[in-house]
A = this chain, B = another copy of it.
Amino acid sequence: MKHKTPTTPKLQDLRVNGPRLWDSLMELAQIGATPKGGVCRLTLTDLDKQGRDLVSRWAVEAGMTVTIDKIGNGFLRRAGRNNALPPVMTGSHIDTQPTGGKFDGNYGVLAGIEVVRTLNDAGITTEAPIEVAWWTNEEGSRFVPVMMGSGVFAKAFTLEHAYAATDAEGKTVKGELERIGYIGEQEPGDHPIGSYFETHIEQGPVLEDHDITIGVVTGVLGIRWYDCVVTGMEAHAGPTPMALRRDALQVAAELMQQVVACAHRHPPHGRGTVGMVNVHPNSRNVIPGRVKFSIDLRNASDELCEAMDADIRAVAALLSAESGMPIEITPVSAYTAQAFNADCVQAVARAAAALGYSNMPVVSGAGHDAVYMARLAPAGMIFIPCKDGISHNEIEDAKPDHITAGCNVLLHAMLERAGLADPD
C-alpha cells in the first residue's frame, strides 16, 4: 500500500462539523420519538424502515453507494483510490430499545456519515475505501439473539437461525425484512473488511466520573449468565421458630452478596450482578421455600471469567453444605471476552492525544457489534461519556462537545488506517 501518512499540518487540523452531526442525530431521533425525549424504533418495524431510508438518503447525498445483505445489514461505501483494498469500516446500529435514547447505536452510524461528509468537504481521497455499516437488530429487544446482523455476518450463528426468530406476535425476521424491503442480495460476511472502528456512548459512568472525554476501548468483557435456585422448605412465618426453618431466601441473600464479593475478588474489571429475583410463594407470612435468581459475571478474559465461575460455585457449595439446602447453578449463556487489536487501540489513543482530548483506556462491559467484527478484522472502539452513565432509557443524554470529539477521533483513526491517496 503506497500512500502518504496523514502528517501534513493541513490534515492534522481537519475537524468534523459537530453541529451538522448533532442535527443529523436529532433528525433521525424524530423517527420513533417518544414524549419523554427518547426513541422507540424497534428493529424491522415501519419506523426502522424510515430510519434506514433516511440514513441511505444521506449516504447517497454524500456520494456513497448502498449495499444491503441478506440479513439487512447496510454498507455505505465511499470509494478510495485503490478500491481493491478492503475498506476501513465504521458502524453500529440504528434500532433502539422500546424505551431507548437518541445516541445508543445511532451515534456510531451517523459519526461514520459525518466522517465521509468531512472528507468530501476537504476534498480528501483515502487510499483504501471507507465504509459505514448499520447492523440489523443489535438490541435484541424484538427478536433474539442480540447483535443479530453482525453475528450472522461473523458466522457466530446461521442466517437461517436468524431468519426463523419470531417476535411476540409470531412474525419472523425474514418476513419482516421482506415486508420493509431490506432483504438484500449479498451473502452476509461475503464482504471484506480492512479494519473496523465503532464509536459509542459509554453506557456506563466511568468517563463521566473521571471527567474524561475519550475512552480508548481495549476490549469487551466476557459474560457468564446463570440461573441459581436455592431450595428450602415453605412454612408459616408465625408458627415456625427460627431454629426449625429452612428459609431459602436467607441463603439466597447470602449468595447474592457473594456474587458481588466474587467480582471484588477479581479486580480490576470483575463485575457481578444479581438483577432478577423470584421468590416462591412470595407471600408475606410464608417462609420462602424456593428462590430463583440470576447471576451475571463479567471479566476481561475468559480465564478470569472461568476463575469467577469456579469461585461462585465453591461459595455456593459451601453455603449449601452449611445450610443443608440444595443450590443449583445453571449456565444460561456465555459470551467470550474480546480484546481489541493493539494497532487499532493505538490508532484511537494517538488520534485522541493528537486532538488534545483527555483520554483513558477503558473496557466495555456491554456487547457491541464491534465484538463480532473483531473476529474478522483488526477492530477498536471509541467511547464518549453519557450523562449519569444511563442508556437504554429515554433520558439517555450526551454532550454535543463529546459527540463531536468522538467523531473527530474516529475521523483521524480511520484516516490513519485508510491512508491518503497519493496526489496523482
Q: Which residues of A are interface residues toward B (Cβ below 8 A)?
A: 202-206, 209, 221, 223, 225, 235-242, 244, 247, 249-250, 253-254, 256-257, 260, 263-264, 269-277, 279, 282-288, 294, 296, 298, 332, 364-367, 389-392
Instruction: Pick the residue among B237, B249, B256, B391 that contacts A271 (CB under 8 A).
Output: B237
Bound-complex Cα distance A361 to B342 (A): 75
| Residues of chain B lying within 8 A (CB to CB) of residue A250 | 256-257, 260
Bound-complex Cα distance A282 to B282 (A): 15
Instruction: Pick the residue among B238, B260, B263, B284 that contacts A276 (CB under 8 A).
Output: B284
| Residues of chain B lying within 8 A (CB to CB) of residue A366 | 236, 238-239
| Residues of chain B lying within 8 A (CB to CB) of residue A273 | 237, 247, 285, 287
Structural contact, B223 and A392, CB atoms closer than 8 A: no
**Minimal Cβ-Cβ distance residue in B for A367:** B238
| Residues of chain B lying within 8 A (CB to CB) of residue A241 | 204-206, 269, 271, 365
Bound-complex Cα distance A366 to B294 (A): 33
Structural contact, B272 and A283, CB atoms closer than 8 A: no
**A205-B240, A236-B391, A239-B365 given; 6 more Cβ-contact pairs under 8 Å:** A204-B236, A204-B241, A241-B271, A253-B257, A254-B257, A276-B284
| Residues of chain B lying within 8 A (CB to CB) of residue A240 | 204-205, 271, 365, 389
* A to B CB contacts below 8 Å, 15 in the list: A204-B236, A205-B239, A206-B239, A236-B389, A237-B296, A238-B271, A240-B271, A241-B269, A242-B264, A253-B256, A275-B279, A275-B283, A276-B279, A276-B284, A284-B332
Assuming the A-B contacts A205-B244, A250-B260, A273-B287, are A239 and B389 also in contact, with contact meaning beta carbons closer than 8 angstroms in the complex?
A: yes
Assuming the A-B contacts A256-B250, A277-B277, A279-B277, are A244 and B287 also in contact, with contact meaning beta carbons closer than 8 angstroms in the complex?
A: no
| Residues of chain B lying within 8 A (CB to CB) of residue A365 | 236-241
Bound-complex Cα distance A282 to B366 (A): 18
Structural contact, B239 and A202, CB atoms closer than 8 A: yes
Number of copies of this kind of chain in the complex:
2
Assuming the A-B contacts A273-B237, A274-B249, A285-B296, are A244 and B392 also in contact, with contact meaning beta carbons closer than 8 angstroms in the complex?
A: no
Bound-complex Cα distance A274 to B282 (A): 9
Instruction: Pick the residue among B203, B253, B287 that contacts A253 (CB under 8 A).
Output: B253
**Minimal Cβ-Cβ distance residue in B for A208:** B244
Assuming the A-B contacts A260-B242, A365-B240, are A282 and B271 also in contact, with contact meaning beta carbons closer than 8 angstroms in the complex?
A: no
Structural contact, B204 and A221, CB atoms closer than 8 A: no
**Minimal Cβ-Cβ distance residue in B for A263:** B242
Structural contact, B275 and A239, CB atoms closer than 8 A: no
| Residues of chain B lying within 8 A (CB to CB) of residue A332 | 284
| Residues of chain B lying within 8 A (CB to CB) of residue A263 | 242
**Minimal Cβ-Cβ distance residue in B for A221:** B238
Structural contact, A242 and B288, CB atoms closer than 8 A: no
Bound-complex Cα distance A274 to B204 (A): 32
Bound-complex Cα distance A136 to B283 (A): 23
Bound-complex Cα distance A282 to B297 (A): 16
Instruction: Pick the residue among B238, B257, B286, B288 that contacts A204 (CB under 8 A).
Output: B238
Query: Nearest 10 A-B pairs (CB), nearest first?
Result: A204-B239, A238-B365, A238-B366, A237-B273, A253-B253, A239-B365, A284-B294, A203-B239, A253-B256, A205-B244
A101 to chain B, nearest CB (A): 12
**Minimal Cβ-Cβ distance residue in B for A386:** B239
**Minimal Cβ-Cβ distance residue in B for A241:** B206
**Minimal Cβ-Cβ distance residue in B for A233:** B388
**Minimal Cβ-Cβ distance residue in B for A364:** B239
Bound-complex Cα distance A274 to B291 (A): 12
Task: Count chain B CB atoms within 10 A of each CB in A239, A244, A391 and give the residue with the most.
Answer: A239
A312 to chain B, nearest CB (A): 15
Assuming the A-B contacts A237-B365, A244-B206, are A277 and B249 also in contact, with contact meaning beta carbons closer than 8 angstroms in the complex?
A: yes
**Minimal Cβ-Cβ distance residue in B for A393:** B234
